[in-house]
Structure 1
Amino acid sequence: MAVISIIIPVRNRKEYTRHILDQIYTQISQTNLDNISVIVIDDGSTDGTPEIICAQFPEVKLIQGDGSLWWTGAICLGMEYALEKLSSDYFVWVNDDISISEEFLMNLNDICDSPVNCNRIIGGIVRDRTYPDWIVFSGMVNKKLIRSLDFFAKEETKEVDTLNGNIAIIPRSVVDKIGLPDSDKFQHYGGDFEFVLRAKNAGFSVVLSRKIQAITDYQMTDFIRYMPPWMQWKIQPNLSKRKEIIIGFTNLKSHYNIWHQVNINSYGAKYIPSWKYFIFYFRQIIKVLSSDFWSQNKIDQEINNYFKQQNVPSAIAKAIMSQINSK
């Protein structure tokens, strides 16, 4: 059987960490899949996460950071460990805030044991618990996120351009050829997209499979924080919240921070001059502020089109529009 390493980056979310590890080890014990190892990279948690791991899950290979790794740096450390210490054939990225399907590890093992998958990256899908037909994390085709199960109407596995890192299966052949994710340019956001794009450009296939599934409790607030900044600006009711949106452009925890956006837009460039970041920043600030002068029809049309693209459940869409119109 293939040697598989599940790599989970965590920080200060002990209940999430406990939950995902409990699921994984329950399935391992039920299926006798002793070819699967779990590597957890704890990036400086102060809430007792590493202590819980050591006490309740002694089988975990625990790597501890100092709080400066972020997502991509943690993933790289885990992959290095899996490569050098465990001689892994497959590296499996898993985020801690999901609940894996009952057949997750069996399907994972079948995928990794199939010779057809030794040269392709396979992504899984994460669905919302309340609205299970809504895919909240998956992949992208033609710069559009895959949000509906209709994508798999004819095939269980389909080719895509890139993947979210919430669930991704990477064969060793990919790492041997292109190395690890770029933790310098993409410290927190974008490390998954960039790595998968680089693999595809190197000739590897990238597919999304509905056989690898999980669910998560995706709240309306989660959806809002991934909306474009100007849309968030229209939703937020007060100055303090709007200030947070502006700060987000220079906050690594924000998906729209300028380094992530400029680096992914300039993907493949060997050098990106600093002025590009400044120009991008000021253009985004102007767009956010100018949205206060747009007609309500334009705002409604833009946001409703966005909802349609994202396959947003009607209850969530109505609640957000009600919040905007009540301002």
Structure 2
Amino acid sequence: MKIAALLTCFNRKNKTLACLQSLFNIVPNCHVYLVDDGSTDETSETIKQTYPQVHIIKGNGNLFWSRGMYTAWKEAIKGSYDFYLWLNDDIELYPFFLKELMECMAYGQNQCIVSGLIENFEKTEILYGGSDKNKKLIQPNKTPQEITFMNGNVVLIPAYVVDKIGIIDPIFHHDLGDVDYGLSAIENNIKVYTTTRPIAAGYKNDFCRIRKWNTSLKQRFKKLNSPLGSPISINFYFRKKHFGIINAIVFSIYLYIINLLPDSLVEKIWGETYKDK
């Protein structure tokens, strides 16, 4: 069984190294393809010294998560692997992570996608994995549960799926690439499951991408349309692709409205919804 792990990183050397250590402790022969998207904290140099077997791909500093993962995957598929493992570099894997992923994969007859449940380091809260059709975060259960909206923190994808739907869509810059891939799989009759239990610990990124407070109108739209925001053009593409042109138009107008309105009015109408938590 040949597995290629795919990661992208930028300026969080210690977290990246901890993630790699947790992986190699469990799967010492795993082939790793890591995109370093212009780190200035000596991430690449340290990884070369500590884990010389890692395939490091230099980014241009403008890839971010989705395009970084696309770049890593594009290189990895040259190796004809049986499985591709997405890893966020800010997670630490549990010793049983691969066993759990493979058991859930077998549940789907090796023709599905499995997204691992991720909890906080205190083991008190599920952070990621996936959500159901009502966007409710899925919790641990005795059997794998179907996901509608997939998180890309730890995901196992068999070659079967890649042969059928390809790799991550390079249109996506940072956000939505994982959700899009899961929806594309479902639309091609490929099931997406969660694991039955958490398989890694990670950090919660609970900030709002689509609106910033206490800024000028110009700064607000600049942030919205930046890679770490929620660009209107990419949202339009995503929603048209999966939910139709009307949905895409309506949501684009909605993005404009909530960014045009002043803070006080947005707070009055939507409360804490668009504030960083």
2: CA distance, partners of 1:128 / 1:243 = 36
Distance 1:239 1:81, change over 3 A: closer
| Aligned match of 2:51 | 57
Structure 1: give runs of 5+ residues left out of the alignment: 308-319, 321-327
Of 123, 128, 137 in structure 2, the residue corresponding to residue 137 of structure 1 is 128
Distance 1:75 1:295, change over 3 A: closer
| Aligned match of 1:122 | 114
| Aligned match of 1:214 | 200
Say which SS state the counterpart of residue 69 (structure 2) adopts: helix
Q: Percent identity?
A: 24
Indicate the structure (1 or 2) with the bigger Cα radius of gyration: 1
User: Conserved in 2, the CA contact under 8 Å of 1:156 and 1:211?
Assistant: no
User: Conserved in 2, the CA contact under 8 Å of 1:262 and 1:280?
Assistant: no
User: Conserved in 1, the CA contact under 8 Å of 2:258 and 2:266?
Assistant: no
Q: Deviations over 1:232-276 (max 9, x none)?
A: 63xxxx558x9755432111112x33234323222248999x998
Say which SS state the counterpart of residue 41 (structure 2) adopts: coil
Residue identity matched to 2:224: F
| Aligned match of 1:314 | none
Of 47, 64, 67 in structure 2, the residue corresponding to residue 70 of structure 1 is 64
Say which SS state the counterpart of residue 158 (structure 1) adopts: coil
Higher helix share: 1
- 1:252 to 2:234 alignment: no
| Aligned match of 1:25 | 24
| Aligned match of 1:12 | 11
2: CA distance, partners of 1:250 / 1:17 = 27
Q: Higher mean Cα deviation, 161-170 or 204-213?
A: 204-213
Q: Deviations over 1:305-324 (max 9, x none)?
A: x69xxxxxxxxxxxx6xxxx
Distance 1:25 1:259, change over 3 A: same
Residue identity matched to 2:225: T
Distance 1:285 1:270, change over 3 A: closer
| Aligned match of 1:316 | none
| Aligned match of 1:101 | 94
Structure 2: give runs of 5+ residues left out of the alignment: none
Say which SS state the counterpart of residue 175 (structure 2) adopts: coil
* Pairing of 1:74-85 with structure 2 (within 5 A): 74-85=68-79
Q: What's the RMSD between the two structures over aligned residues?
A: 3.3
Distance 1:259 1:13, change over 3 A: farther
Say which SS state the counterpart of residue 241 (structure 2) adopts: coil
| Aligned match of 1:191 | 177
| Aligned match of 2:208 | 226
User: Conserved in 2, the CA contact under 8 Å of 1:91 and 1:169?
Assistant: yes
> How many residues align structurally?
276
| Aligned match of 1:266 | 240
